[in-house]
Amino acid sequence: MANDKPRALITGLTGQDGSYLAELLLEQGYDVYGVVRRSSTETYDRINHFKEKISFVQADLTDQVSMIDAIDEVRPSEVYNLAAQSFVPTSWKQPILTGDVTALGATRVLESIRVVDKKIKFYQASSSEMFGKVQEVPQTETTSFYPRSPYGVAKAYAHWITVNYRESYDMFACSGILFNHESPRRGLEFVTRKVTDGVARIKLGVAKELRLGNLDAQRDWGYALDYVRAMWLMLQQDTADDYVISSSEMHTVREMCEIAFARVDLDMNDHVVVDERFYRPAEVQELLGDCSKAKKNLGWEPKVSFKALIEMMVDADMDRVKAEIRT
């Protein structure tokens, strides 16, 4: 009997969002395939607990033929392009690589779909970092982009090439303009996770201080698991479109630290040291999204509040650091 389950291919499977999206799609009854790139060590920490339920395809966003082969082999009904060099400070140190993976990588995936089967639906992981030096507050789908990092510039290119393939080839190609989203699976270099990991280490006596950069930067932070649901919903609509996905609340890095330290009865002022090494050549000072369109058209809204999110991350890091200390 033919397998009539929907089939999804995810690039960036091993990242924060890829891991949550894969779990969501499995729950929805999909056959899930994930692109992984060759590495001397496996980076499967986020997917180890369900990896026998998914299939792996080896490819790299910098290699066109490997992407065509992956899509031809899997023949998915939906492709989610989540792979990227996604850490903003690295994009100043490696701007060419960032452009190759984060910008041209999206074109390579779109080209692969165009060549193999134009009916495959496509999701692009666009970013609020494209708004950069914001041109209006709050930001919507029609707010002009003013990116402030090589990463933001690369994402703006990837965003517009997605729109262009939709309009040029009548492909079902969507961009989700996602504002910052976090979880216990967030990479340790991003500020929320750096703080929650640092708080756990200080509380458990294995660190004394936490060195951070700009505490006045403001972000619109949400929970990653809520945000991957929006990605899936975008590809279930009758027409392809672009959507802002945000919590529509803005908080400073300082407020985020206060919540994290208070969770374990500590005062951030006793432990946080501002270190100019973490300042950026050009900063994005404030991001605030307006996700009314997603609420109206997708019926989407975030479920986890900012405070609950940061507390969940502190609790998870307390458990992890305690286990590390025991071993």
Give the active site residues: 127, 129, 151
DSSP alpha helix (H) spans, 94-190: 95-98, 105-116, 150-169
CB atoms within 10 A of CB 67: 29
Choose, by CB under 6 A, the member of 10, 110, 191, 288 that binds ligand GDD: 191
Q: Which one of ligand GDD, ligand NAP, none interacts with residue 235, CB within 5 to 8 A by kind?
A: none
Q: Is 199 in the site for ligand NAP (CB under 6 A)?
A: no
Choose, by CB under 6 A, the member of 181, 193, 229, 263 that binds ligand NAP: 181
Q: Which one of ligand NAP, ligand GDD, none interacts with residue 83, CB within 5 to 8 A by kind?
A: ligand NAP
Q: Is 107 in the site for ligand NAP (CB under 6 A)?
A: no
Q: Is 314 in the site for ligand NAP (CB under 6 A)?
A: no
Q: Is 259 in the site for ligand GDD (CB under 6 A)?
A: no
**What tokens does 204 get?**
């458990």
The answer to whether the CB of 300 falls within 8 A of the CB of 291 is yes
Instruction: Give the up-direction half-sphere exposure of residue 317: CA atoms within 13 A in the CB hemisphere.
Output: 30
Amino acid at 174: C
Distances (CA, A) of 70 to 33, 60, 103, 157, 221: 10, 10, 19, 23, 33
Instruction: Give the up-direction half-sphere exposure of residue 52: CA atoms within 13 A in the CB hemisphere.
Output: 1
Tell me which residues touch ligand NAP (CB under 6 A).
Answer: 11-18, 35, 37, 39, 43, 60-62, 82-86, 101, 125, 127, 178, 180-181, 187
Tell me which residues touch ligand GDD (CB under 6 A).
Answer: 86, 88, 127-129, 179-180, 189-191, 194, 212-214, 217, 219, 253, 278, 280, 283-284, 287
